[in-house]
Structure 1
């Protein structure tokens, strides 16, 4: 063997020995990155605004065969109340959790309890609200609802998402935890499910903010947002960072926040890279939505403020579905055109 080749080979093995002696490892790059999981959620599972959301809520309750679980911030709709009474009298397991600080709930709870429906106030401390809005039917279908079940709630520009895969079981499991937290009695929700995997993530409380930050940081092209209020400092900074990396950041907020949170709005505008518009005053903006790269989205139960993330009981849903996101992208573009700079 030529001396030159001998020295090269010897040097190579000496270098390897030093690396391993020092606890180092050599990382071999993977030839192909593993594709991110996508959801099979279809556009037909999205219900926009009052009539569509209300009618789907009615039809799901009407179709229930064994159980109906409900968690609501506000609830006084008379037709839905009567339907639940009918279902309870027919022998279905009807259970309802309500926020204890909302006045519309007081008469609703009295009316339902007087007819032996199992309804309770979520055990919040004073100042805390239960913003989770869930309808779970037969433990295999769920409607994650934007609006509260009141006349005002159903009139807002809002969104509801129907789940029928594994995420519906996850919703039932989350509800069971809230019910046990309230009453100390667990529900009979199975530990596993045969429902198909749909790659949808449900998060509560502090994890809602974490999901939102992860979605913002993972964006490579665009972040389009509709939310009545955005003031949480970490979220604001994440949006500024994303815009600084060239992401197309657009935000539609409720017109009322122009005077309520001017400092945050000015901070976002000052970057010169984030565009903000105000939703028309004629309709309340109920949607709390982020569309990421036009291919996935996150919907949360309330505004993106520190108080909501830290104090209140919140819920979010993250859906990596290009098909469903396309429908929301079209809605956003229409809202953007009719909103004011």
Structure 2
């Protein structure tokens, strides 16, 4: 009983900061109080495993600092830091053996008791009785670290890829549905490696080629999303079975250790070349049976290596689950195949690219794309399925370009699940342009030569941007996405020609001020149906716009 009372008194003293170790307890305590030298920089309150083993708090020491007599408290529980000298950033944990698997910081053990609450805590770091640093967090998501400096949550294992700028070189620009054989033809010539990263995969033609290349000794890897909107289809399961049976290594990013909401890029590293697209690896996408999309094949070793590095970092992450393991015990959903064909109007074209920049979300793509648009003075052409908000950072950058005098055209999709919102946004944009005197025009698509827009494309002066990044918040901050910025007159001219053709369509007209209201009424019945539908996916959010 006396021991319990003594322990309770010690904990109370730690919480209040009243306990300062004597010289007999730690000889160097008097020299260790250097309040300006340490800052709370991160906390990990909500690990995946039951019971939250591996919680940690990270402290940055600006100089060598002895922490004898230092305590860390959340106001309810308290613990002592080790009697040692630290420099740099160090993670402190009650269970360091677990914490070491979730951080690259050196991890040191704590003594006492510290339980970080999932719903929030205020942390206080003290040297003796003096407060050194405080930090607060609320509502900790599972498997995410609170970065106190950035004031944001980031997933465990989040990457920090830098933009990769290359010297460019030759490339083949093409669009879909006009060039349905180009993706298969590019992959068919591989002799060394095929590293494919996608959202979904149902292309039987592409599966045939991948199996053939694997049988010839090519290193073939396919990495896909494990929780696509609507679920994994039976058609995809059949194709992935074929791939694995044929010697292709297939993994899906799934389970509680996923560091991003969705794995949504569309690229293939083929030997020393790279194919980057807006389209999924399915008949309706790269197969040319439905959507308008932009793609490019880069004869650029540096770009291919940059994408291979991104692929490796995702391929080796703990959430990358082998197909046979993922498949076990799962049911798959029905999906309607795309069966429409279209007459080619835009042939692939060999182009020279002055420079290519490989960008990846959520690491850098959104911020870099804002910078690209902010640098435009002459034109900004945007073709997107949807823009989710008037406050979208990319849209705001586009409006700034219009305000500088650039010619701006915004072309939005007309699929049933976005048409109403797009009509409303286009109406607002056109009213704003009229009021400001901008050369800006927005239109909702009237498809001609394809079924619907699936492009995520931008042309800013003489830079064309191709890739998977939708102009919605979740894509920019929560998903793995890949885009490439192609600098040079030829790339920009090719995609601008396609954009202009699509912009004209069959009977396209600008959406006048006020017309969006009529459009909303006309489709209100459809929207009522949509509101009753439940999309299966992360947080029931539509992150891709084609099934």
Structure 1 Cα separation of the partners of residues 414 and 213 of structure 2: 41
Instruction: Specify the alignment match of 1:278 in structure 2.
Output: 444
Indicate if the aligned counterparts of 1:243 and 1:249 stay in contact, CA closer than 8 A: yes
Counterparts of 2:169 and 2:460 in 1: how far apart (Å)?
16
After TM superposition, give the deviation of residue 46 of structure 1 in Å: 0.2
- Identify, as 1 or 2, the structure richer in helix: 1
1:200 to 347, 352, 356: 356
Separation in 2, partners of 1:156, 1:116: 31
Q: Does 1:113 align with 2:239?
A: no
CA shift digits 1:20-46 (9 cap, x unpaired): xxxxxxxxxxxxxxxxx996555x610
Counterpart position of 1:128: 261
The answer to whether structure 1 residue 247 and structure 2 residue 391 are counterparts is: no
Contact (CA 8 Å) 1:208, 1:300: kept in 2 or not?
Answer: no
Distance 2:403 2:354 in 1: 33
The reply to whether residue 317 of structure 1 matches residue 472 of structure 2 is: no
The question of 1:141 aligning with 2:273 is answered yes
Structure 2 Cα separation of the partners of residues 246 and 38 of structure 1: 30
Q: Which segments of 5 or more consecutive residues in structure 2 lack a partner in the other structure?
A: 1-164, 322-352, 511-547
Matches of 2:176 and 2:185 in 1, distance apart?
A: 16
In the alignment, what sits opposite 2:162?
none
* Contact 1:121 1:182 (8 Å CA) reproduced: no
What is the alpha-carbon distance in structure 2 between the residues aligned to residue 66 and residue 241 of structure 1?
A: 45
**2:204 pairs with 1:78:** yes
Match of 1:61 in 2: 187
Relative distance call for 1:330 and 1:38 in structure 2 (3 A) is farther
CA distance in 1, matches of 2:383, 2:376: 16
* 1:292 aligned residue (438, 444, 460): 460
Who wins on radius of gyration, i.e. which is larger? 2
- SS of residue in 2 equivalent to 1:159: strand
Q: In 2, are the aligned partners of 1:258 and 1:265 still within 8 Å (CA)?
A: no
Contact 1:124 1:130 in 2 (8 A): no
Name the CA shift for 1:61/1:300 in 2 (closer, same or farther; >3 Å): closer
Q: CA deviation at 1:199?
A: 2.6
What stretches of structure 1 of length at least 5 have no aligned partner? Answer: 1-36, 186-196
Structure 1 residues 198 and 172: alpha-carbon distance in aligned structure 2, compared to 1, 3 A threshold? farther
Q: Deviations over 1:224-277 (max 9, x none)?
A: 111111125222222222212211111111024341355544442332232011
How big is the shift at 1:142?
0.8
CA contact (8 A) 2:277 2:466 kept: no
Q: What is the number of equivalent residue pairs in this alignment?
A: 290
Whether the 8 Å CA contact 2:355–2:488 is kept in 1: the answer is no
Per the TM alignment, residue 311 of structure 1 is displaced from its structure 2 partner at its CA by 1.5
The 5 A counterparts of 1:1-341 are 40-42=168-170, 45-52=172-179, 54-102=180-228, 103-104=232-233, 105-123=236-254, 128-138=261-271, 140-153=272-285, 154=288, 155-165=290-300, 166-181=302-317, 199-206=355-362, 207-232=364-389, 233-256=392-415, 257-261=418-422, 264-272=425-433, 273=438, 274-281=440-447, 283-293=451-461, 295-338=462-505, 339-341=508-510
Normalising by structure 2, report the TM-score. Answer: 0.49
Secondary structure at 2:451's aligned position in 1?
coil
Work out whether residues 269 and 276 of structure 1, in 8 Å CA contact, stay in contact via their aligned partners in 2.
yes
CA contact (8 A) 1:58 1:80 kept: yes
- RMSD after superposition: 2.6
Other structure's SS at 2:459 match: strand
